[in-house]
């Protein structure tokens, strides 16, 4: 799975809202940054601790640490772009916030602003789900194998993970299975 290609397709499909449910916030942010650079889209990030700012710049839009204020700023601006909203899920319970998000989304045909919600868990309210696309990051295979190497062949943190039962161990054991081709094109001898 190619996350950059797949997420670019989602963003180009003109959904005004995108939800990415993940614990890998840095990976999602880096992916969006790469896509925005390649597509030459403006990229903004928001968090409750930092407020709204153009990604890669230190200047923060004044008075935008409050999520409602950040949404009001986004609604008023004519700046097309991708707006990454980190851990905004607690604010989705507020009917005023939901309405602001809906108004930004419904105005997409005038100003192409995509709100991307990244959070470990996101339940979009019913009135927003029809305006949204969901995206799931693929498994970071390199990180899994690194964890297995550190953990001696088990997926670190996997429930019931035992020595030699992770994907790398299964891959290794399948290579030596009778009748399976080995490096060099030969099959392992059958017993």
Query: What is the reported pLDDT for 1?
Result: 57
- Average pLDDT (159-166) is 47
Q: Which two tokens stand for residue 112?
A: 């192409």
- Average pLDDT (139-150) is 64
Q: Report, at the CATH architecture level, how domain 3-135 is classified.
A: 3-Layer(aba) Sandwich (3.40)
DSSP 8-state symbol, 117: E
Q: Model pTM?
A: 0.74
Residue range(s) occupied by CATH 3.40.50.300 in the chain = 3-135
Are residues 9 and 126 in contact, defined by beta-carbon separation less than 8 angstroms? no
Average pLDDT, the chain: 82
Separation CA 96–CA 148 (nearest Å): 46
Query: What is the reported pLDDT for 153?
Result: 54
Cα angle, residue 114 at apex, residues 108 and 118 outer, rounded to 5° = 150
In this structure, the number of other CB atoms found within 10 A of the CB of residue 84 comes to: 26
Between residues 156 and 70, the one the model is more confident about: 70
Own/partner long-range contacts of 91-98 (Cβ < 8 Å, ≥24 apart):
91/67, 92/122, 92/123, 92/124, 92/125, 92/128, 94/68, 96/68, 97/67, 97/68, 97/71, 98/125, 98/127, 98/128
**Statement: residue 99 has pLDDT above 80:** yes
């Amino acid at each position: 799975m190619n996350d950059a290609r797949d997420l670019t397709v989602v963003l180009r499909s003109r959904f005004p809202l995108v939800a990415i449910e993940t614990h890998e916030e840095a990976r999602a942010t880096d992916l969006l940054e790469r896509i925005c650079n390649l597509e030459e889209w403006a990229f903004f990030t928001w968090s409750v601790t930092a407020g709204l700012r153009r990604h890669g710049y230190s200047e923060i839009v004044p008075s935008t640490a409050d999520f409602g204020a950040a949404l009001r700023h986004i609604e008023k601006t004519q700046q097309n772009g991708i707006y990454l909203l980190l851990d905004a899920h607690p604010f989705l319970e507020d009917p005023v916030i939901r309405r602001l998000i809906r108004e930004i989304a419904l105005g997409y045909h005038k100003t192409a602003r995509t709100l991307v919600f990244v959070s470990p868990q996101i339940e979009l309210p019913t009135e927003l789900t029809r305006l949204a696309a969901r995206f799931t990051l693929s498994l970071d295979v390199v990180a899994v194998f690194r964890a297995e190497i550190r953990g001696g062949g088990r997926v670190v943190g996997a429930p019931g993970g035992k020595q030699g039962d992770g994907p790398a161990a299964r891959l290794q054991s399948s290579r030596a299975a009778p009748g399976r081709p080995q490096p060099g094109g030969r099959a392992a001898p059958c017993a």
